[in-house]
Amino acid sequence: MTTLKQFAQDYVPTQMNNIADLEVVRTDVEIQEEERMNKEGDKYTVKYITVEGKEYRVPGTVVEQIQTILTAKPELSTVKVSKSGTGLGTKYQVIPLG
């Protein structure tokens, strides 16, 4: 049995991963959309993929970049997403791999 003290010391707040945390992303992975609630109790909609049982958030700007790349390269099967900045200043770059 775990004590409250031990639990608190080991506690890591849950946070959704980001698509940029993955080394490679397949373009045929199923994307899901769900309404959730933040800490303040406000509802928001999140788009995410599930890879190996973990959820990874997919920002709209990433989807837009993949859409543009697919226009020129419809056979695209994998991408890498890099991320820079934080908060509202976060920028994403989608790199086509194959």
Domain ranges of the chain: 13-96
β-strands 54-57, 91-96: how paired? unpaired
What is the tens place of the pLDDT at every residue in 67-96?
Answer: 999 999 999 999 999 999 988 899 999 999
Phi then psi dihedrals of residue 22, to 5 deg: -90, 145
Per-residue pLDDT, 10: 84
What is the tens place of the pLDDT at every residue in 20-48?
Answer: 999 999 999 999 999 988 888 899 999 99
Least confident stretch, 1-5, 58-62, 64-68, 80-84:
1-5
Q: How far is Cα 6 from Cα 2, in angstroms, rounded to an integer?
A: 6
Longest CA–CA span in the chain (Å) reads 57
